Amino acid sequence: MSNPKYGALNGVDDDLDGVDDFLDEPNPFDDTQNGTSNSNATVAPDLDTKSMATAVLPDYSEISGIQQEPGNEPYGNVNNGSSVNVNRTTTERGELPPGLINYYSKFFQLSTETFKGRFLRSLKINQLIFESESYNPESRELFGAIWITCTIVLVKFIFPGLINLMHYGIIKGEKISESVPTNDRDKIYWNLIHSIWLFGIYSFVVPFIVLQIILKDDTNGEENGLPQSEPTGDAGGRHMTINANAKNLIGLITVYGYGNSIWLFILPILDITNSLATRFKTAIAVEWAIIALAYVKTAQYMNMQICNRGNGHVRLPFTMIFVLGFHIIFSVLLMFTLY
Amino acid sequence: MSDYIEPDTPGGVNHHSNLNNNDNLSNVDISNPFDDNNNIASAVPADSDNVSKNTRGTLDENVLETLRRDLFEINSTLKKVVYPHFPSRQLLSSTSTMVNESLSSSSPTSPNNQSIEDISANCDLWAPLIFVITYSLCVSHAHTLFSSLFVLCWILLLIMSLHMRLTKPYENVNMITYISLSGYCIFPQVINAIISQIIFPILLKMIGNRHWSIRIITLLKLITLILCELWSLTSISLVTNSRGLIQIFPLGLCLLGLGWLATIL
């Protein structure tokens, strides 16, 4: 079938390869032949005689519905006090791939009140840091774990130097560079490095190991016909179940991160005690006693956050033995490396 | 609709308002594009105001002139970003009012956001580089610690910008801009480093190493640290539109680390 558009060229063949060889074939750019065309598409007028093809422009309302610039969206930010949660909006538009920075932003979206509430609850006894024991993806966050750990590292770095500055610089009126031995000053910087790896591993690597044990423990429990995610209803309650929030990596890192908050107060006390250790030999014993108290508090916190409560549970799960074991190793390493 | 395609000039010259542009452009000899007399921009007479200051020609000027102009540009950005935010009673009262206003109406077209966009559009990494080098030189006294401090400064800038990017995913500001703004906001820490590591020791030498003079200098060091910390923190929180404990606390932590190093080393 000849194409009526090219009336003058129809029937002309010059025996050479060229445009005239394709006159009988359908035009792939033609609107009616285009498989992607739709009823709402508008055809732009061919104003330019030099243009080779007719452009098909879809309706603007469709484009605006599909392609929205993130910066122009009216979504509020939880950190700014707005009530719209970014987690929800992200889920509505589909999950971002983990390669993008914005994927991780959902773990940093929490209000100041939530953070303060969790931080204070982590310091109290018998309080859950999460708002409920049931699994809630929106309650997962990394902000607390990362920045509480960073604050502890910075406090450990600043406080001994501040004690020296107060003691020698202000009270005694001596130059720190002349009064404090070089070894002691170097120790502050070595302590910074030690505290970075120690708290880094304890807050971000240990949760990963513990999660593997939890999952294994969970599987064994299921094979034995024991309930897992909810507290047992029977009077015996022999198997203490794992809290749903502790069954994923982010939730467990959050638990460990907030669990570190006790060290924000313990480490300065230990620094003061350590500065007195040259005068009083009993100071070392006091240091170990403080560490033991911190251990008991943290162990109670871990038990509270990781295990489900209620219904008269009498036996610790297999996982808790590892959790407490890792915490003993951490506490002892902290004493030997930082003090 | 015409076939005319707007040239990709940084100034965004408005050709639509000049109907006789074609006449002007036709008079331009394009044989030597580096020749000032044949500059296309000069052939457009009416819209010289629209030509951006970023239209730079560093090939035909001497190095000193380029450096001087760059320093003036850095200073003009500092005037917007850092200088007005020195912690004073007046600023603190105005800041609290600003925060209340912005909390009540946080529209993307607010004047505050527009000023941030203006600053973001002209961001650079030269100023942060200069500040980081100066800080590292002052604190390390040009010894072996310099490289560690240099790397540490850039890591902290990266952490700060990453934090802002993560906590404010819907703001149209990229990482480089945040690094640049954070870099400008460490300017008070550079001042802290210069005062603590150069000026105070010179003063101490002049006065003599007496007990009371050491006490005063130590106290002054702490006061300078606190003032510069507040200055940096106010600047960065206002310029990057950071509000609330969640956004400001990590920034303060990073800046405190920098300031403390300058005080204690």
Task: Specify the pLDDT at position A119.
Answer: 93
User: Which letter does DSSP use for residue A245 in this model?
Assistant: G
Task: Specify the pLDDT at position A173.
Answer: 87
- Rg of chain B over CA atoms, in angstroms? 23
Token representation of residue A49: 């005689």
Task: Specify the pLDDT at position A56.
Answer: 42
pLDDT tens column, A47-95: 343 333 334 444 444 444 444 444 444 444 555 544 344 444 444 556 7
C-alpha closest to that of B84 among B235, B255, B241: B235
Residue numbers of chain B with a pLDDT score lower than 70: 1-58, 88-120
Are A170 and B218 within 8 A, CB to CB?
yes
| Least CB–CB distance from B244: residue in A71, A76, A81 | A81
- Rg of chain A over CA atoms, in angstroms? 33
Task: Specify the pLDDT at position B156.
Answer: 95
Q: How far apart are the C-alpha atoms of A120 and A101, rounded to whole Å?
A: 30
- The ipTM estimated for the assembled molecules is 0.72
Q: How far apart are the C-alpha atoms of A305 and A252, rounded to whole Å?
A: 9
Token representation of residue A245: 């929030």
Q: How far apart are the C-alpha atoms of A72 and B132, rounded to whole Å?
A: 34
pLDDT tens column, A231-253: 444 433 444 577 777 888 998 99
- CB A158 within 8 Å of CB B260: yes
Report for A39-43, A306-310, B253-257: range of highest mean pLDDT: B253-257
Q: How far apart are the C-alpha atoms of A207 and A246, rounded to whole Å?
A: 9
Are A73 and B170 within 8 A, CB to CB?
yes
Strands (E), chain A: 42-43, 56-57
Chain A contact for B105 (CB, 8 A cutoff): no
Task: Specify the pLDDT at position A70.
Answer: 44
What torsion do the CA atoms of A306, A311, A312, A316 make, to the nearest 10 degrees?
Answer: -30
Residue A214 distance to chain B (closest CA, Å): 30
Are B106 and A82 within 8 A, CB to CB?
yes
Sequence-ordered list of residues with C-beta below 8 angstroms from that of A254, at least 6 positions apart, any chain: A129, A130, A140, A141, A142, A144, A145, A245
Task: Specify the pLDDT at position A174.
Answer: 87
A-side interface with B, Cβ within 8 Å?
47-48, 50, 69-73, 75-77, 79-82, 86, 101-102, 104-105, 107-112, 115-116, 143, 147, 150-151, 154, 157-158, 161, 165, 169-170, 172-176
Are B172 and A47 within 8 A, CB to CB?
no
The domain limits of chain B are: 21-49, 123-265
Task: Specify the pLDDT at position B7.
Answer: 54
Are A77 and B264 within 8 A, CB to CB?
no
| Helix, strand and coil in chain B, % to nearest 5 | 70, 0, 30
Helix/strand/coil for B225? helix
The domain limits of chain A are: 1-34, 118-338
Place of tokens 């203490």: A240
Res. A100: pLDDT tops 60: yes
Answer with the residue of higher pLDDT: B195 or A18.
Answer: B195
Residues of A with CB below 8 A from B215's CB?
169-170, 173
Task: Specify the pLDDT at position A246.
Answer: 80
Are A170 and B171 within 8 A, CB to CB?
no
Are A71 and B1 within 8 A, CB to CB?
no
Task: Specify the pLDDT at position A106.
Answer: 87
Answer with the residue of higher pLDDT: A257 or A278.
Answer: A257
Are B249 and A143 within 8 A, CB to CB?
no
pLDDT > 70: percent of chain A = 60
Residues of A with CB below 8 A from B247's CB?
79
Res. A38: pLDDT tops 70: no
Task: Specify the pLDDT at position A275.
Answer: 87
Residue A90 distance to chain B (closest CA, Å): 11
Buried b (16+ CB within 10 A) or exposed e, A275-310: beeeeeeebeebbeebbeebbeebbebbbbbbbbee
Substitution target in A68, A79, A84, A106 with the highest count of B β-carbons within 10 Å is A79
Chain A contact for B218 (CB, 8 A cutoff): yes
Task: Specify the pLDDT at position A20.
Answer: 65
Are B218 and A169 within 8 A, CB to CB?
yes
Residue A215 distance to chain B (closest CA, Å): 30
Are B245 and A112 within 8 A, CB to CB?
yes
State in Å, rounded, how far the first CA of chain A is from the last one. 92
Task: Specify the pLDDT at position B182.
Answer: 93
Task: Specify the pLDDT at position B150.
Answer: 95
pLDDT tens column, A161-218: 999 899 988 998 888 888 888 777 788 888 999 999 999 999 999 999 999 988 887 7
Task: Specify the pLDDT at position A29.
Answer: 62
Amino acid at A9: L
